[in-house]
Amino acid sequence: FAQHGLLRQFILLSSVICFIVCTAFCIMLFYVKSYSLGSSRQVLENVHSQTALRLEEYFSIIEEESYVICYSTAVQEYLRISETDAQLDLSDSLLSLHSGAYLILDSLTGISAFDPDGGPVFSSRTSLFTQQGLPEAVRGITSYHYTDLFASGSAPEITRPSFAVLSPIYELLSGT
């Protein structure tokens, strides 16, 4: 009878210890899970805000470079003159201007200018619109315009998804 009571006490003690260990384990799991969720959320929010900041900086640089190119002396002079020989004399200046933009924006695929009818005026590297001309939907824009994403292979030289940034060029002296 004494052994039976001792066995019962051992089982009861073992059950209490198992209950305490299981409870402690469950509490620990709860805190670890809530801590890791909070930590993961914070990490994701940090990554999101850094990505948003980088995108804002990137688009700001694109717009600044676009402004520099559109209103440079070389581009303004090129658009003002109509003689082909005089335009050819400015081609080195245009290429030098474009080279600076390519150095600043290494992801830049190409730079092109189009007349009001959508026909190409000048271009360097690759343009999504060189073959077909500027799409009708974006002719006559009056402010910066970003196109949808173009898939790789939209033009032979485009090997990664790309988009176009379109900006009107106003002739500074004539106001057109």
For the stretch 165-176, pLDDT in tens is: 777 777 766 555
Q: 113 forms bridges with which residues in the sheet? A: 122
pTM tops 0.75: no
What are the pLDDT digits (tens) for 62-86? 888 888 888 888 888 887 787 777 7
Structure tokens at 17: 């210890």
User: According to the model, what pLDDT value does residue 174 have?
Assistant: 58
Residues ≥6 apart with Cβ < 8 Å to 151 = 161
To the nearest whole number, what is the mean pLDDT of the chain? 78
**Could you give the percent of the chain with pLDDT greater than 70?**
82
**With bands split at pLDDT 50, 70 and 90, how would you rate the model's confidence at 60?**
confident
CB-based burial, 54-77: b 16+ in 10 Å, e otherwise: eeeeeeeebeebbeebbebebbbe
User: According to the model, what pLDDT value does residue 88 have?
Assistant: 79
25: pLDDT strictly greater than 60: yes
User: According to the model, what pLDDT value does residue 149 have?
Assistant: 67
**With bands split at pLDDT 50, 70 and 90, how would you rate the model's confidence at 21?**
very high
Residues ≥6 apart with Cβ < 8 Å to 146 = 163, 164, 165, 166
Lowest mean pLDDT among 14-23, 31-40, 74-83, 167-176: 167-176
- Residue 139's region, left for phi above 0, alpha for psi from -120 to 50, else beta, is beta
Lowest mean pLDDT among 7-11, 130-134, 153-157: 153-157
Whether the Cβ atoms of residue 131 and residue 158 lie closer than 8 Å to each other: no
